[in-house]
Structures are given as structure tokens and as C-alpha cells.
Structure 1
Amino acid sequence: MRFWIDPQKCVSCLACVRVCPAEAVAVDGDSVSIVEEACIRCGMCVPACPHDAIDASGELAKAVGYAAGGRAVLILSVEAAAYFYPSTPEQVVNAAFKAGFRAVHHGVTGDELVAAEYLKLWAEPEWGTMIRSTCPVVVETIKREYPELLPYLAPVETPVAAEARYLRRLYGRDVPIVYAGVCLADGEADVDAVVTFQELAQLFEARGVVVSEQPLYFDRVVGERRRHWSTAGGMPLPVLQEEHQASRRFRKVRGLGGLAALARAVAVDRIDLGFVDILPCEGCLDHPLLGPREELFWRRRVVGEAEPPRSRVPVLEDGVGLEVGRGFEPGRNGRRVPESDVEAVIEAIGRAPTGKPWDCGACGYGTCAAFAEALVKGRATYRQCPPYQERRLAEAAREAAVDRLTGLATFRVFKDRLVQEVARSKRSGEPFAVVFVDLDRFKRLNDTYGHEAGNRVLEGVGRELHRAIRSTDVAARYGGDEFVLILVRTDEVGGRRVGEVVRRSVESMGVAMGYGEGVVTVSVGVAGYDPGRPEVDVVEEADRALYRAKAAGGNRVE
């Protein structure tokens, strides 16, 4: 079984990337694809895609060939009753016979075999912690991400694998076995072909069989449908009943997110958890391939009504004695991403005002470090990161080296030059000055004379600032109607002199442009950087001086 993305439908919205718990979605520019060897087949990406671009496929062609051969056996999981509704389970089974399958089984024998094995384990004293292993999605996640939990997995096969072994003993080792269900990772190694229910419907169509036209009663003998010990999924009913008795030996966990807490509890805190009934969802009826989650209880009702009464005696034949134990090997999850690469991504994103990574989770990952690892592996993109996008947006406004309107340097150039001047001043011991220049009542001028007039004033201020400084100094537009100067090898007194020159020249410029006296003026704030006091923020000091100048009425130097 594989999940794949249709490039014709995919718009690269990255919804699948955000929900994938296995980081199995690769992003390369606008191209998004599922990495098959990393996919755990949980199906969470299917309902997450708003464009229906993700589909799941089994081995339909092989299954059609086996059905046509007339020798194959079909394992039809009980969830088929909900998928093919309003057709009855009897009609679906009859359709399978008519399509060419020699026998149809419902996986009940596999469930019973697995349940019997779990009952044996449950009866053993003092096993501490045991984790349910009937779900291949959980097992695969543990193998790849939480290998410390492997010793605690119940050493039992999945029900489909157990059923397949039983059928080979019953019909012969060379009998082709096809499994139709929702969790197709279950027993893939033990059957010859797996198909989704959608593909099973296509198989019926290819074989010329209409399900709704089949008889409402079984027209052939079918495999065992009654249960004695088991529930769907292979868990023994007596164990599950421990949940209702608030037993300390039983814990129910739903969702792969619970694995991190389990790993911490057993591997670090050394806590005996008892039996852990963990599934990624509320059972196979909650699998994304079966439809919306809000229909879960309806599906349960349909399947429950199709189940025959529970048998009061064991349904396994005497002497079945199949071996359904198994061992687990750690999975491959790739090489560890170098810490330097992770740190480089975090620095590119930027840190929160506290100095720590944002860790906002908006990208779909719990931490910036987890996102960085995924990005380095090609499983994520900066487009997922809102803090990074906001930072880029802010930087884009300052990206050009020269402000187009005033001809002055941009804010970005000012910041770079400020860092250089601080470093130079510390080395040489020479001071420098920062001068903030802010137009007074500029909004009123814009509102009265129009934005074109305001732009001409800004251009004029840019020219006056250029005239007032030396070639070694920097004049930059700080933003809006605010400007800033860096005066090298100049102390605060020298900065005040330049500030006064700027104030007078701008006032004269306004009059020359036809505005009355006092209409075009500036407030100036000056601060000097003292290399002997490196802890003082010279920009902040100059900004405070500017605030004092404006608070005093403007058209002055502070």
C-alpha cells in the first residue's frame, strides 16, 4: 500500500506536511511528494488535504489477476460493512465469490488467535509494562522514533498476519491470499496482495459484478464470523474490560502523540504502566480512508449490527496451534541532522524577544528545532514558518541599498554600518555620533497639501542631509518621515552642531518651496557613542533625545 500525491491537484498548500507525524512528505520548491520508505501509512494526510490531491492505492492489478484465477482467498475486514452500505455484508461476500474468489474470510480467526496469545501474556505475573502491538502504524512509529519502547511491545503478530498463516495451513502454502481493508500495512508481508475498499469495488466492476444485485443471504459457506475471546483488532474482551474497572494494569491511549510520554515513563522514570492499549485513532473504523471522523459512531452502529452474536464456546478448532509470536527490530530513521545545521535554520528564522526560539507550533512541529531538522532533511519549507515570513516581509521593505524617494541609504544599510562603527570605535577608542531627524507635523502637511507635496518635502530633506554630512558619514531614511545620521569620529557636541545645521537648512528649504515659516521644520535628537561605556545603546539615547525635542514643541535640537 502506498500513499501518493496527484501533481495535477496539488497546489502545494503544505497541509499534509503539517499533519504528517513521520515527516514523510518531501518539499522541493513547489513540488510536494510522499517519501514511501518514511511513510508509516497512518493516512492522516488524506483528510487533511483540502484539494483531494492525496490518494491511497494497493495492488489492484494483482488482486484482479488472482480473482480471475479462481484459486484466491479473500480476507475481508469487518469495516467493509460500513464502506459498502447500504449493500449488506451478505451481498458483498456473494460479490466476492462471483468475482472469482474461492473463499471469503473476515479475519475473525486471526483476531481469535491473537487474542488467545494476549490472554496468555496477561496471565503472566509481574511483566511491568506491555504495549499493544496489533496496529502496524504504532509499531512502525516505535521502531523508527522510539526504539527504547521495543522491548515493551507485546511479542504478538497482527491479526491479518495470523489469519494469513491459518489460511495457508487450511488451503495450502501456495494459495494466493488477498486482503481488503483500511490499514493495508497490516500483514502486507503475509498476504499476496492488498487492496483498499475502493479498489475492491473497482475489482468487482472489472469482473462484471454488481454488489447491489447480489442475494441478501449467503449463497456459499463463508469463513467463521463469530467471536469468542476477541474484539475487532485482536484484543481479548477480558483485557479490554479492565478499562471499565479502573484497573492499574490497563491504560488506554489514543494518538501517536502519547508515545513520547510512554517513552519517558518507562525509559527514564522507570514506571511500570501495565498494559498500554495504544492506537493512532479510535480503531480501524476511525481510519481516515473510511470517511469523516464525525461519522465514526454511525460506522460503529452499522458494523455492530452486522456482527453475529458472540459464541459462548471457543471458535478455534482444536489443534490449530499456530505460532503467532514475533520479534521487533529497530527501524531506520536516517542519520541525525548536525546540530550546526539546526542552529543555522533557527538563526535564519530569528529568535523571540526573550532570546529563545519561537516554538509557536504554527508550522506543524512542536519546536523550532524539530522544524529545522525536517527542513534540513527536505521534509519542510520556510513557507510553513510565520515568524520567518514576517521577518522576511520586514526585511524586504529595507532590502534595497538606497531609498528610492530620498536617495538616502536604507534602514538595512544603517544597521550594518552601525555595527561596523561600534566595532571600529571599540578598537580605536574614537567616538561617533547618531543624529535622529524627524519632520514636525508631517501628517498635517500631507493632509493639507497632498501626498505629492509631502514626497517633494521628503526629497528635499534628503538633499539637505546629504549636504550636511561628509562622505565618510551615513545619512539614512529610518522609516516614514524619520531620518538618521551616523557621524564618524564625532562626539555629541559635534553631532549637535551638525543637527543645528540640518534644522536651519530644512526650515529654509521649506520657505524656499513656498511654504510659510514654521510649516516645514524638523526635530533633532543627538547622542554620542562613548567606547568607554559600551553598555549604553546609542540609538536608544538618540531616540530619547528626539522625543524630548518633539515634546518641547519641535524645531529644536536636543
Structure 2
Amino acid sequence: MKVIDFKDARCRHCYKCVRNCEVKAILVRNEQAHIMEDNCIHCGHCLEVCPQNAKTFASDMERVKGYLGQGKRVIISIAPSYLGVLEYEKPGQVVSALKKLGFYEVRETAEGAALVTREYRKLLAEGRMKNIITTCCPSVNDLVEKYYPSLTPLLAPVVSPMVAHGRLIKSIYGEDVKVVFLGPCIAKKEEAIGDKRVRGAIDAILTFEEIVKWWKEEGIDLCRCEEEPMGNPSPKVNQLYPVSGGVITSVLAAVPEENYYKVHIDGLKACMELFEELEKGEIEHCFFEVNVCEGGCIKGPASDKWQQSLIKAKKGIEEQVKHREEADEIVQNGVEMYKEFTDRHVREQEPTKEQMEEVLHAMGKYTAADELNCGACGYPTCRAKATAIFQNKAEVSMCLPYALAQAESMSNIVMDVTPSMILIVDKEMRIRECNKKAQEMLGVSREEALERYIFEFVEEKDIADVLDKKEPIIHRKLKLESMNLTVVESIIYIENLESALVTYQDITKEEKAKEQRLNLKMETVDMAQKVIDKQMMIAQEIAGLLGETTAETKVTLTKLRNSMLTAEED
């Protein structure tokens, strides 16, 4: 099960998550972003920057409600960052509000931090480690194990405060109790559930964002709740753990330690710069408090939605932590604090020179000058992007210059091969764009056309009407007298440009051919009429001759009959 990922069909080709993922643990396939679990350090930064709110988070809310519904004893381990993140009047109101949801007890994770502090002091006192990197932040631990494995010997072999506290709670209440960690961190879920080295200490994770939503659903107003005390002794200075520099302050609370130079680093980029320096082996005897979130845990990805001010959160915690001394009332109770860190480096195949060139050519990069290294795709260089494509983690279409070149190329092809004259004319009748056919018909270059007005070439009345009325003219036939052309005119208003798209389809040849066909028809009709007339004349002549012959025959026959009758009488 993935702790975090992106919802399908919500990506919008922005690649902002890729650009903001320093370890490039995001795969883009079919234009959809996905988190690569083996590469991810679960910092959650990609989800914070996603403009489409396309994140998914594997919530344990139903599991926790199930525990409560079964009547199990469920204890909250609440991260001390609540002091600067949640909005209340008195800290005890948080305890009361959580118990109203059904939790058996509420204890501060800073109680586990006190145990971790003691382990760090032991390491500092022993002085055997060349450098010491704190291991409270699970994202830092993932970063070292996966991307700087040579530095794993420098990781303090100590569990995180959350794990220490989970184990401490179960040692106090029994193994059958369920422990739920409540905090601002997404990486804690992967640590609790996905890391088999510490599995079992924590049964579920809730974020501050989820608990606030739950309170609202139940109609619980945090500021109106009564106060109740935490179930643990005061962790005192260890409540400063979520603030940058808080670990060092806790470590030095009892006895200042002089063997190691102490420095706190927060922010993923700063951590990576530190680790790159440490890999050179030139730094020694330093104690590094490291945190992936800038400003510390108070700026965790699951608290940022409502607590935007780092200064306000930091001030809120530091003002409420009044006791800066060691928490000597907290007993370790046999809790196992050791954790071994190992090399979990993800090894991926690198392209050969030939394979690299093949991918670069597919991206339209043929020379060094073509490699713009603009970073729009999310990768720092074109070659880094090409490597990601080779490893099936990215797509060629993610290259913005390539996509633009393709789009421009296709649009230019369409514009250039169309047989119609196409122009864009603004409300002042100035030509703003024209295609090759227009240049050919107007008899000017594109540069010259863009400096001239449409009325210098054709009658502009129709164009002016469209620009004025914003109503299109579609397929109107007219004669362009200035060019001796017959065209089909279409004019469409472009609102966002306050201009008109004008197309003239040259139908001069068709019209001439049509006229020739009409003339041919008329000539044929004339010829047919002449033939008809001639035939009528002939018919009339024949009829006349036939009439004369018939009359003569009648006279002759009549005479013959009469003569025969006369002869018979005689």
C-alpha cells in the first residue's frame, strides 16, 4: 500500500511535483504522475505544491474508529508540534477534545523524545562516531539509506521519538493497547507501517489535518473544551523537538557537551548539500540535527493547510515550553532504543552514449545548443530528463520546448499548406498575421504585410462590420476587384484579441470554369433551337408539297370517275 500518491485524471501537464521533488521519485506515465515507492522519502512536499489538489493519502481514520468501536484501549501519542499548530486557549483542551472522541489516554511524544535525548548524549560522551546525524526524521533516514548509503554509519543508531514512545506506552499499559500517533508528518506512517525494523510500536497514524476534520464532524469546539492534564510526566525541554534546533537544545540541557560541534540543518536541499559534503570525508566531530521540513516538524506537510506562519508556530511552542531542563521523571522502562540503518540504495540502469543520443534525438535535441536545460519538465538538465525517459520514468512530451516546437510546427504546416488566404486583422484594420497564401496573393512578404492595413489591399467594409457587430460572416461570395479575384469570404470575430480572422478562398478558376460551362450550355441551346426551327421549316415545306400533290390527285381521280360514269351511260 502506498502512503501517498496522485489521483488519476487530475494531473494537468504542469509537472510541478516533478520540479519540486529533489530526489525525482515521481514517475509520469500517460501524462499521469505516480510516486515511486522505492525511490520516495515520503517528505510530502510534492503533495503540498500540487496545484490541482491531486494528492491521495492512505488514511488510518477508519482503522482508528474501528479500534474505538471495538472498545479497545486506544492511546494517543501527540507530537509536541501541536503547541504551535492547533488553535486552542489552553493546552489541556486538546486532551479533553481527544478524549471526547473516545481515546483512553493522551500522552506527549516528547516523552519518547526524552529517551532519545539520553541516547544521543551517550553517543556524544562516547565520542566513537566520526560524525553523528540525528535519526528523528524518517525522511532524513530514507534520504541517507536510499541516496547517500555511504553515510549510514553516521546515522545515530537510535529509534525515533515516535517509535520510542509507542514502545514505552505498551510497556506501561500492556501489549494489547493500541497506540495512535498524532502529528504533522506523512513520513511517520511509512516508518510505523512500512519499516519492519520498528513495526509494532505504533498501530495507526493520524494527522493534525484529519483530527481537526474529525472534531468538526463531531461538533467538538476545541476552544470550549475543559482542560485535562496529559497522562505523562512533563517532558520539559524535549517539547522543543519540533522546532529547528530543538534536539540540540534538549541534548545540551543537562551538561554541555564539548566533543562535537553542533549544528542544525533543515530543508531538503540543505540536507542534501550537507550529505554531499560529508561524502567527501572532510568534516569530522560534528553533531548534525537534520530535518527535511524547513523550520522543523512544525512545518510538516500535514499541518501546513491551516498553519501558514512558521514564526507564529515557532513562537507558540517556545513560549509555552517554560521548563528547559532535563526530563528526569521519565523512566525508560526497558524500552529498546537501538536501530540499525542499512544501504537501501535504488540502483537503476544508466543509458549508454548511443542510447542517450537516441533519446535526445527523440526530444529534438541534436546539438549542444538544442539542450536548453530550462527545467520546465522538472529535471535540471535535458540529459537528466533523457535518462529518466530511458528509465521509463518520464515522457518525451514533458519537454516544453519540444512540445511548443511540435505545436508550432503543426500549426505552421496547417497555415502554410492551406490554399486559402488567411489573415488576422485588428480593430484598427492593421494586419496582425497572415499565411503564405496571403503573402502570395497580396504580393508582399510577411514582414511588410504586418506593417500595413487591410484596406490597402481589399475593400474592408465586411471586416469592419464584423469587428463592430461581432457577428460572423460565413461563406459569402464576392469579387476582389483590386486583385481581379473571385473569392468565398469568411470573417470571424476573435474576442480575446479584439481582432477578426479573415479567410478568402480563391474560387476564380472555379468561377471561370462555371462561366465556361454556362456559355457552352447556352451555345448548345442556341444550336438546338436552330435545328428545331429548321426542322419545322422543312416539315412545313413537306406538308405544303404533300397538300398540292393530294389536290391534283383528287382532281385527276374525280375526272377519271366522272368519265367512267359517262361512258357507262352511253
TM range (shorter): 0.5 to 0.7
Counterpart Cα distance in 1 of 2:278 and 2:446: 65
2:124 pairs with 1:122: yes
2:210 pairs with 1:196: no
Structure 1 residues 454 and 268, CA gap change in structure 2 (3 angstroms): farther
Structure 1 residues 106 and 221, CA gap change in structure 2 (3 angstroms): closer
Residue equivalent to 2:262: 250
Structure 1 residues 262 and 299, CA gap change in structure 2 (3 angstroms): closer
Structure 1 residues 342 and 42, CA gap change in structure 2 (3 angstroms): farther
2:268 pairs with 1:266: no
What SS is found at the alignment partner of 1:288? coil
Residue equivalent to 1:225: 234
Structure 1 residues 330 and 178, CA gap change in structure 2 (3 angstroms): same
Residue equivalent to 2:165: 163
2:382 pairs with 1:392: no
Counterpart Cα distance in 2 of 1:261 and 1:307: 32
For residue 285 of structure 1, the aligned residue among 298, 322, 327 is: 298
Q: Letter of the 2:74 partner, please give it.
A: A
2:50 pairs with 1:49: yes
Residue equivalent to 1:13: 14
Work out whether residues 359 and 366 of structure 1, in 8 Å CA contact, stay in contact via their aligned partners in 2.
yes
2:387 pairs with 1:373: yes
338-347 vs 244-253, greater mean Cα deviation: 244-253
| Deviation string, structure 1 residues 1-37 (Cα, Å, up to 9, x no partner) | 8224344654343222221234333322243333445
For residue 303 of structure 1, the aligned residue among 317, 333, 339 is: 317
Cα RMSD of the aligned pairs, angstroms, is: 3.9
Structure 1 residues 3 and 290, CA gap change in structure 2 (3 angstroms): same
Q: CA deviation at 1:79?
A: 2.3
For residue 211 of structure 1, the aligned residue among 195, 200, 222 is: 222
175-184 vs 392-401, greater mean Cα deviation: 392-401
For residue 96 of structure 1, the aligned residue among 95, 98, 103 is: 98
Q: CA deviation at 1:86?
A: 3.4
Q: Letter of the 1:325 partner, please give it.
A: Y
Work out whether residues 226 and 311 of structure 1, in 8 Å CA contact, stay in contact via their aligned partners in 2.
no
Structure 1 residues 83 and 294, CA gap change in structure 2 (3 angstroms): closer
Unaligned runs of 5+ in 1: 407-438, 458-558
Residue equivalent to 1:322: 335
305-314 vs 396-405, greater mean Cα deviation: 396-405
Q: Letter of the 1:48 partner, please give it.
A: V
| Deviation string, structure 1 residues 126-170 (Cα, Å, up to 9, x no partner) | 632222221101111222222122122111111101111111111
Counterpart Cα distance in 1 of 2:102 and 2:35: 34
Work out whether residues 82 and 183 of structure 2, in 8 Å CA contact, stay in contact via their aligned partners in 1.
yes
Work out whether residues 156 and 326 of structure 1, in 8 Å CA contact, stay in contact via their aligned partners in 2.
yes
| Deviation string, structure 1 residues 403-449 (Cα, Å, up to 9, x no partner) | 5559xxxxxxxxxxxxxxxxxxxxxxxxxxxxxxxx99746985554
Structure 1 residues 253 and 359, CA gap change in structure 2 (3 angstroms): farther
Count of matched residue pairs: 421
Structure 1 residues 367 and 203, CA gap change in structure 2 (3 angstroms): same
Counterpart Cα distance in 2 of 1:120 and 1:454: 96
Q: CA deviation at 1:176?
A: 0.9
TM-score by length of 2: 0.64
Counterpart Cα distance in 2 of 1:357 and 1:444: 30
Q: CA deviation at 1:81?
A: 3.6
Work out whether residues 80 and 240 of structure 2, in 8 Å CA contact, stay in contact via their aligned partners in 1.
no
| Deviation string, structure 1 residues 195-215 (Cα, Å, up to 9, x no partner) | 112222344466675534421
Counterpart Cα distance in 1 of 2:446 and 2:12: 43
Structure 1 residues 86 and 97, CA gap change in structure 2 (3 angstroms): closer
For residue 275 of structure 1, the aligned residue among 287, 297, 309 is: 287
What pairs up with 1:15-34 in 2 under 5 angstroms? 15-34=16-35
Q: Letter of the 2:284 partner, please give it.
A: D
Structure 1 residues 64 and 81, CA gap change in structure 2 (3 angstroms): farther
What SS is found at the alignment partner of 2:42? coil
Work out whether residues 133 and 154 of structure 1, in 8 Å CA contact, stay in contact via their aligned partners in 2.
yes
Structure 1 residues 260 and 350, CA gap change in structure 2 (3 angstroms): farther
TM-score by length of 1: 0.65
Q: CA deviation at 1:337?
A: 4.0
371-380 vs 442-451, greater mean Cα deviation: 442-451
| Deviation string, structure 1 residues 215-234 (Cα, Å, up to 9, x no partner) | 1x21x562233325673157
Q: Letter of the 1:191 partner, please give it.
A: I
Work out whether residues 108 and 224 of structure 1, in 8 Å CA contact, stay in contact via their aligned partners in 2.
no
2:369 pairs with 1:362: no
Counterpart Cα distance in 2 of 1:246 and 1:288: 35
| Deviation string, structure 1 residues 222-258 (Cα, Å, up to 9, x no partner) | 22333256731572426579xx999972333332224
Residue equivalent to 1:348: 362
